[in-house]
Structure 1
Amino acid sequence: MAWERSSMRTVRVRNKQIVGTLANLLAAISASKGSVGEVKLLNDTMHIVERDITVYAADETQMAHVIEAIRNNPGTEIDEIRDQVLEMHQKGKIAIRSRYDIDTLAKLRRVYTPGVANVCHKIAENPDLARHYTITSHLVAIVTDGTAVLGLGDIGALAGMPVMEGKAMLMESLVGLSGIPILLDTKDTDEIVETIANIAPTFAAIQLEDISAPRCFEIEKRLQDRLDIPVMHDDQHGTAAVTTAALMVATRRAGTDLGKAVIAQIGLGAAGFATVKMLMKLTGNPVMGADLDPAALQRLEEAGGQPATLEEIMAKADIVVATTGVQGLIKAEMVRKGQIILALSNPYPEIEPEVALKAGAAFAADGKSVNNVLGFPGIFRGAVDANASDISEEMLLAAAQTLADLTKEGYLVPHPLNKKVHQAVARAVAEKAFEQGLARAEYVPYVD
C-alpha cells in the first residue's frame, strides 16, 4: 500500500493543456517505481492545469528518481515540492493545554493559590484521592532509551521522540488517555529501572517503547515486580496481541484448528518472543522457534518452546509467523501446501504473500496488515480505568479475542482508526481485570 512506503512528497505541478500530459505523467511516476496518492486540482485555465500530486517511494533515493521523472515529463513544470511529514512535525505533534480558561482572579484562586492547598492537603491525607483530583488518573508515561526505534535500530532517545509523540497522539485521539513521552539518556538497565520507578507516582501506567532485546525483558519484569501500576512493553505485548488476533482470523478463514496446529515463530526478538508466549498460553501447546542468537533459543526453551531451524520449521509447522527483518528469508520452495504464513517484517516481508500463496499456502499476509496501534490504546485504557495493578496474560488475550471477533470479512484485523474497536478492547481488558481480581476501581461505567 502506498502509505506503507517510507518516503512521501506533495508535488505541485503545472501541466500544459495538451491531451495525454497527465496520463504520461502518472505513467512516468509508475515507471520510476513510485506510487500516486491524492491528486488535487488547484487551477484549470485555457493553457495550464495546476495540481498537487502526492507521491510515495520506497526510500529517499527512489524518491529522487520519481521527482526527476516528473521534472522530465513533456509539458510538466514543477512549482513546489513539499514534505508534509516534516511539516506536520514542526514544533512537535502534541502539546499540554489547560482544561479551563483562567480569565478572572476568582478562577486563579481556585486552580492555584490559595485554593489548591486544600486539594494538596486532602491528597496528603489520602493518596488514593490523587486519581480523583489530578491528571494522574489518565496519564501514561511513554518511555524509551532509543535503542530499537522502528527499523532504524539504536538511534538514541532524542531521535526517537517523533515516534513517542505519535504514540501519545494515538492514545489521546483513540481512547482519551494523555501520553507523555519520556526520553532516557542512558542504556544502563539499573538506571532505567530506577528512573522509571522514581517518576512512577506521576502516572497511571507505564508504556515501555523501542527498548532493545534482551534488555527489554529484564527492564519490564523488574518494573512490574516493583510498581503497583500497569507496566507494558508495547513492542512485545501490543504486537503479540494483534498478531494473535490476526492468527485467529487467518485460521478461521483457512479452516485450521489453532489449538491443534503446529505453530512456529521465526525471529525471537521482543515481538517474536512475546508472540510465542501468548500463543502457548492460548493453545496450551509448545511453539517452535528459530533465531540466530543462542541466548534467544535458550529463553524460548526455558519458556516451554521448542528450538528449531528455519528448515525444520518450514517442514513441520502448519502456521509460520516471521518477524526477522530479513527480506526474502522464506523461499517459495520451502512453503508446504496448506500452510498459514504471516511474514510480518516491514517494509519488506520474509516472503511476499502472493509468492507464498502461489507456492501452496492456504493463507498468507505481510506486516502491512498487522499494526500494533490496534493493541496498546485499548489495552491501556481498560487497565487504567479498572485501576489494575498489572496487565495479565489473560487481559492481553481478551484484547486479542476482541480484535478477532470484530474483524470484518475480507480483512485480517479491524481498521486501526475505528474508535469503537478500541472501546471494545478497553471494555474486554477491564472486564478481565475485574474477573481476575486485579481491578482496584469500584466500578467502570462501561463494564457491567
Structure 2
Amino acid sequence: MRSNMHIIIRLEIEKAKANIGQIATLIHENDADLMAIDVKKETPEETIRDITIKVNDEPGQLKVIKALNDSDGVYVKHISDRTFLVHLGGKIDIKPKIDLKNREQLSHVYTPEVARVCNAINANPLLAYNLTIKSNSVAVVSDGTAVLGLGQISPEAAMPVMEGKAMLFKRFADINAYPICLDTTDTDEIIRTIKAISPGFGGINLEDIGSPQCFEIEETLRQELDIPVFHDDQHGTAIVVLAGILNALKLTKKRLKESKIVVCGIGAAGIAITKMLLAAGAENIIGVDKEGSITRDHQYDNKMWEWYANHTNPEKVNASLSEAMNNADIFIGVSRGDILQEENLKNMAKDPIVFALANPIPEISPDIARDHVRVMATGRSDYPNQVNNLLCFPGIFRGALDARASSINEQMKVAAAEAIAATIDSDELSEDYIIPGVFNEKVVERVRDAVVQAAIDSGVSRKI
C-alpha cells in the first residue's frame, strides 16, 4: 500500500552540474513520485527549487535525501513534511460568536449580567442546553492505550489523533468537539474524570481506549450519565459494517436472518459488530479467535467472551477458522492480515460476502479474493467499499444532540446503519459500491434524521 507521505525539499542546484530533469529521474529511480516543483530563486549560475515528493515511508524519505545529497551540484537546504506542517499550532481553534467591541457587550457576555444566566441555569439545569455551548459540544476522550496501530502512547502523543477527530466533527456535522487526553490508564480514575467533566458536554466520544477496559468504561458511563456515551472504535465500525452488509445482501438476494456469518477477531470491534448484527436480526453468528470458535460449551475468563458464547453460535460449532468458513454466507474479519486462504473462500456458500477489515493488511488481499467472492469490503481507501467510521460518528452525534438524547441505544445505531445504506439508490448499487464515500453530502443529514426519529421512538429523546 502506497502511503500519502509528502515532503517538500528545498534544493540549491548549480546549473553547470545538474538540472531538474536529472533530479526528476533520480527521484523516480529511488521509488518516489515527484508531485510539484516551485521556483524560489533563479540566477544565471544557480536555481533554488522547492520540490514536493511522495514516498512510501520514512526510510523511503531518507533514501531520496541521501541520493540528492550524493549528487554533484545539488544541495539539500531544507526539508519540510507536509503532514507536520498542517499540524503546526494544532488543527483546531475556538472563535467567539459575538464580535466584542464595547463595554455594554462585555457586561452581557461576562460580569455582571452573566450572573443572571447562571442563576437561571442553577434553578433549571436543562436551560444549559439553550444558554451554553452544551447542546452542540462533544468531548473526545482517550487514555492513549490503543491509538491507531501504535498501541499505548503518551497522552500528549495521542493529541493529534483526537484533534483530528474534533476537526472531523466540525467539518461534517458542525459539532464543537474538544480533544481530551487523560494521563491515566486506571479504569476507575478514567470513569471519575469523565463524570466530573461531563456537565459541560452534550455527549462523550470515547476514542482509542484499549480492550477490555473500554467495555467497563463505556457501560459504567452509560449507566451513570444522562448524556450519550459512544465508543467509536466499537460502534462506529459496527454501524458502517452493518450498512455495507445490508446493501451486499440486496445484491446476493439473501436475508440476514438466514445467513451464516463468521466474525474473526473477538475484541472490541468484533463484539460490537456482532451485537449490531444481532440487533438487526442475524441469528447464526460464529465468532472465531486464535483458539478457534467461541462456544457456550466452554468457560472463558474474559467476561465479554462469556457474553459472546451465550448469545452466538446456536449450533455450538467447535471449529477452527477454516472449518467455520464452510458454507458461510458472510465473513467479517477484524483480526490480522493474511489469515485467509483462497481455499477458505471456495468453501463458502454461493455468492460469498467478505469484509476483510484488518489494517493495513487485510485478512486476504482483494486481488486474491476477487475471483472467489461476490462482494468484498476492506478498511483501506485504495480498494472499493472502504469501511470508514467517518460515515457514522458525525451523523449519529448530530442526531443525538439535536434530539437531546440521554443515550445512543441499539435502535439508534441500527437506524444509522440503515440510513447509511439507503444513501446508495438501487440503480447505483453494485459489487464495488455498497458503502458510500466519506464526502457524500447526503450521509450526515440522513443519519441525523434517522437517529433523531429512533431516539424519539425509543423514548430517549428529551427535545420538546
Question: TM-score band, normalised by the shorter chain?
Answer: 0.7 to 0.9
Structure 1 residues 76, 277: closer, same or farther in 2, change over 3 A? farther
Match 1:364 to one of 365, 376, 388? 376
| 2:326 counterpart residue number | 315
- Per-residue Cα deviation, 1:243-297 (whole angstroms, up to 9, x for no partner): 1112223333444443322111111111111001101211231311111375354
Q: Take 1:378 and 1:225, find their aligned partners in 2: how far apart are those partners?
A: 23
Q: SS where residue 25 of structure 2 aligns?
A: helix
Specify the alignment match of 1:432 in structure 2. 454
CA contact (8 A) 2:27 2:64 kept: no
Q: How does 1:53-72 map to 2 (within 5 A)?
A: 53-57=52-56, 59-68=57-66
Contact 1:387 1:440 in 2 (8 A): yes
| Cα distance change, pair 437–248 in 1 and its aligned pair in 2 (3 A) | same
- Provide the C-alpha distance between the structure 2 equivalents of 1:37 and 1:203, rounded to a whole number of angstroms: 46
Query: Structure 1 residues 111, 255: CA separation in 2 closer, same or farther (over 3 Å shift)?
Result: same
Matched, 1:342 2:355: yes
Larger CA deviation: 181-190 vs 117-126: 181-190
After superposition, the Cα gap between the structure-2 partners of 1:380 and 1:153, relative to the gap in structure 1 and judged at 3 Å, is same
C-alpha distance in structure 1 between counterparts of 2:34 and 2:217, whole Å: 41
Taking a change above 3 Å as real, the CA distance of residues 386 and 101 of structure 1, as seen in their structure-2 partners, is same
Kindly indicate whether the alpha-carbon contact (under 8 Å) linking 2:229 and 2:407 is maintained by their aligned counterparts in 1.
yes
Corresponding position: 1:258 with 2:259: no
- Deviation of 1:38 after TM superposition, in Å, equals 4.1
Amino acid at match of 2:29: A
Per-residue deviation at 1:431? 1.4
**Where in structure 2 are there 5+ consecutive unaligned residues?**
292-299, 381-385
Q: Tell me which residue corresponds to 1:159.
A: 157
Secondary structure at the counterpart of residue 206 of structure 1: strand
Q: Which residue of 1 aligns with 2:237?
A: 239
Structure 2 counterparts to residues 30-429 of structure 1, below 5 A = 32=31, 34=32, 36=33, 38-39=35-36, 42=39, 50=49, 52-57=51-56, 59-68=57-66, 80-292=78-290, 295=302, 297-305=305-313, 308-324=319-335, 326-336=336-346, 338-358=351-371, 360-368=372-380, 369-407=386-424, 408-409=428-429, 410-429=432-451
Partners of 2:68 and 2:256 in 1: how far apart?
Answer: 49
Look up the equivalent residue of 2:364 and give its one-letter code: I
CA distance in 1, matches of 2:452, 2:333: 31
TM-score (norm 2): 0.85
What code does the residue aligned with 2:454 have? K
The alignment partner of 1:288 has SS state of strand
Separation in structure 2 between the aligned mates of residue 422 and residue 386 of structure 1, nearest angstrom: 15
1:94–1:376 Cα change, 3 Å: same
**Between 346-355 and 76-85, the greater mean CA deviation after superposition:** 76-85
Alpha-carbon shift at residue 158 of structure 1 (Å) = 2.4
Shift of 1:235: 0.5
1:161-200 deviation line (CA, Å, top 9, x unaligned): 1111111101011111111122222222111112211221
Please report the TM-score for the alignment, with normalisation by the length of structure 1: 0.88
1:190-237 deviation line (CA, Å, top 9, x unaligned)? 111122112211110111111111111111111111111111111010
Q: Provide the aligned C-alpha RMSD in A.
A: 2.8
User: What amino acid sits opposite 1:417 in the alignment?
Assistant: F
Q: Alpha carbons of 1:436 and 1:22: their partners in 2 closer, same or farther (altered >3 Å)? A: same
| 1:315-363 Cα shifts (integer Å, max 9, x gaps) | 2422111111x221112232226322111111111211111124x1222
Query: Partners of 2:206 and 2:25 in 1: how far apart?
Result: 48
Would you say the 8 A contact 1:137–1:204 is kept in 2?
A: yes
Find the residue that maps to 1:379 and give its secondary structure. Answer: helix
Aligned length in residues: 433
Task: Tell me if structure 2 keeps the 8 A contact 1:175–1:419.
Answer: no
Measured in 2, the distance between the counterparts of 1:20 and 1:64 equals: 21
Partner of 1:28: 29
Conserved? CA contact 1:9–1:83, under 8 Å: yes
SS of equivalent residue, structure 1 residue 154: coil
Using the alignment, how far apart are the partners of 2:34 and 2:400 within structure 1?
38
| Alignment deviations for residues 23-57 of structure 1 (CA, whole Å, 9 cap, x no partner) | 7356425xx3x5x4843555898997956333031
Deviation of 1:89 (Å): 1.4
Q: Is the 8 A contact 2:325 2:344 kept in 1?
A: yes
Letter in 2 for 1:55: K
Return the alpha-carbon distance in structure 2 between the equivalents of residues 77 and 204 of structure 1.
54
- Give the secondary-structure state (helix, strand or coil) at the position aligned to 1:433: helix
Q: Cα gap change, 1:305/1:80 in structure 2, threshold over 3 Å: closer, same or farther?
A: farther
Residue 317 of structure 1 aligns to a residue whose secondary structure is coil
- The structure-2 alpha-carbon separation of the partners of 1:12 and 1:19, relative to structure 1 and needing over 3 Å to count, comes to closer
Q: 2:70 & 2:246 partners in 1: Cα distance?
A: 49
Q: Structure 2: which amino acid aligns with 1:300?
A: Y
CA contact (8 A) 2:166 2:178 kept: yes
Q: Is residue 141–residue 206 contact of structure 1 (8 Å, CA) maintained in 2? A: yes
